[in-house]
Amino acid sequence: MEMRLYLLQRISAIVMAPLVLGHIAVMIYAVQDGLTAEEILGRTQGSVLWALFYGTFVVAVAIHAAIGLRTILHEWFGVRGVALNGFAGATCFGLLAMGLNAVAAVTVTP
């Protein structure tokens, strides 16, 4: 299982890398253009493309972070077994829930 988690974390990093660069590019564009929050939401709400972009980003980050925190908890504090895996699962679920809620808030048309 440890090897699979190692590979999954590396794959999530590969997925995140271009998404981080894309997100930074979008932020720079928005700031330089002086877009307001209302203008940004006008461009993102109802957009399947933005929902997929940021939804993928959220999934990759949730997986990557949960595995990384699981590793730290095990190496630094010696946590093992059900507690370790439960923590990682809860962390992943929590990050997914919060992140996908944020994506829905900016991409779903009210």
Question: Do the Cβ atoms of 107 and 46 come closer than 8 Å?
Answer: yes
Number of folded domains in the chain?
A: 1
Collect all residues with Cβ–Cβ distance below 8 Å to 20 and sequence separation of at least 6. 57
Q: How confident is the model at residue 110 (pLDDT cuts 50, 70, 90)?
A: confident
DSSP string covering the chain, please? Answer: -HHHHHHHHHHHHHHHHHHHHHHHHHHHHHHHHT--HHHHHHHHTT-HHHHHHHHHHHHHHHHHHHHHHHHHHHHHH---HHHHHHHHHHHHHHHHHHHHHHHHHHHS--
Q: Could you tell me the pTM of the whole model?
A: 0.92
- Give the CATH number of the domain where residue 90 resides: 1.20.1300
What pLDDT sits at residue 101? 98
Angle, CA of 25, 44 and 13, to the nearest 5°: 45
For the segment 33-81, what is each residue's pLDDT rounded down to a tens digit? Answer: 899 999 999 999 999 999 999 999 999 999 999 999 999 999 999 999 9
Residue range(s) defining the domain that contains residue 34 = 2-107
What pLDDT sits at residue 33? 85
